[in-house]
Copies of this chain bind each other. A is one copy, B any other.
């Protein structure tokens, strides 16, 4: 299977001519457009996302960052723009960007059919917002996008239009602890404190016909920039949105730690080296407002909306772990 995928991706300049793909790219255009329209109506400003920088998001589930030589300095290609979102909200309180991301995923992710090494997120952040605020926003945004795409891409969606429903709000919510219980009931054991592995995430996704939230991940499973819960030590004010039907993670986000001492403490506990985050720590020392936000993967949203088996059909120039495709 893997060598077939590899051949097909390396010859993308032939396979891209499939008329089915052109339809998907038209749907994707409408997805991005309708998100932008929605966010602008909510008062968001679109900014230009960073591409490279001295540091980037370390919380990328076992993937590696890509490094370039930047005039003698080791710079990273952004794995996510989270650290920069905390900077820009000091200038603009409600921002979003179509952000480019590189994550060198482990080779075995080719099998998942939902991991790309090059992908984009609609990344948003709101100063002084809470999880509640941005989760409610995320629900309305997803409903808006699905309604718009169903309305404007009837032909491109084909049969999918019959099964693609605008979800009912509010979406169901489970805490991480509750999600582990559900998985246990299905015979899948996830150790408390660890990230939910993609197989388990896919399994719980398959048990649902509507998108749902998993909230309050343990601090040990996530990166240093999430705010710890005021109510329970070691638990975060964060959330993932999971698509139904086995499509897995849609959104990842939460409230951000903005207090220098607490952040430094989290960073040391997570094993990250403060010297690698010099500008970020100096920024927190000077002071930034609290905020909340999330990122939604554009290719995964396209995969879900078009009901695609393979994520590499959801992007014109797909990059999959280990395959040197154009």
Separation of A71 and B91 alpha carbons in the complex (Å): 38
Q: Is the beta-carbon distance between B48 and A315 smaller than 8 angstroms?
A: yes
Q: Is the beta-carbon distance between A45 and B29 smaller than 8 angstroms?
A: yes
Separation of A283 and B325 alpha carbons in the complex (Å): 13
Q: Is the beta-carbon distance between B46 and A13 smaller than 8 angstroms?
A: no
What total of chain A residues lie within 8 Å of the partner, measured CB to CB?
Answer: 72
Is there a chain B Cβ closer than 8 Å to A69's Cβ? yes
Is there a chain B Cβ closer than 8 Å to A26's Cβ? yes
Count of this chain's copies in the oligomeric assembly: 2
Please give me the residue from chain B that is nearest to A12 by CB atom: B87
Q: Is the beta-carbon distance between B13 and A26 smaller than 8 angstroms?
A: no
A164-205 vs B: 1/0 string, CB under 8 Å?
A: 000000000000000000000000000000000000000000
Q: Is the beta-carbon distance between A100 and B13 smaller than 8 angstroms?
A: no
Contacting B at CB under 8 A, from A270-314, are 279-280, 282-283, 286, 288, 298-299
Q: Is the beta-carbon distance between A46 and B33 smaller than 8 angstroms?
A: yes
The interface-forming segment of A16-24, A217-225, A237-245 is: A16-24
Separation of A283 and B71 alpha carbons in the complex (Å): 34
Q: Is the beta-carbon distance between B17 and A316 smaller than 8 angstroms?
A: no
Knowing A68-B68, A104-B70, A286-B13 are in contact, say whether A54-B326 is a contact too (CB < 8 A): yes
Residues of B within 8 A of A45 (CB): 25-26, 29
Is there a chain B Cβ closer than 8 Å to A47's Cβ? yes
Separation of A15 and B153 alpha carbons in the complex (Å): 44
**A298 contact from B48, B50, B280, B325, Cβ within 8 A:** B48
A-B contacts besides A12-B279, A51-B51, 17 pairs, CB < 8 Å: A11-B282, A12-B87, A13-B90, A13-B286, A13-B288, A14-B283, A17-B91, A18-B91, A25-B45, A32-B46, A51-B118, A52-B102, A67-B69, A68-B102, A70-B117, A71-B322, A84-B316
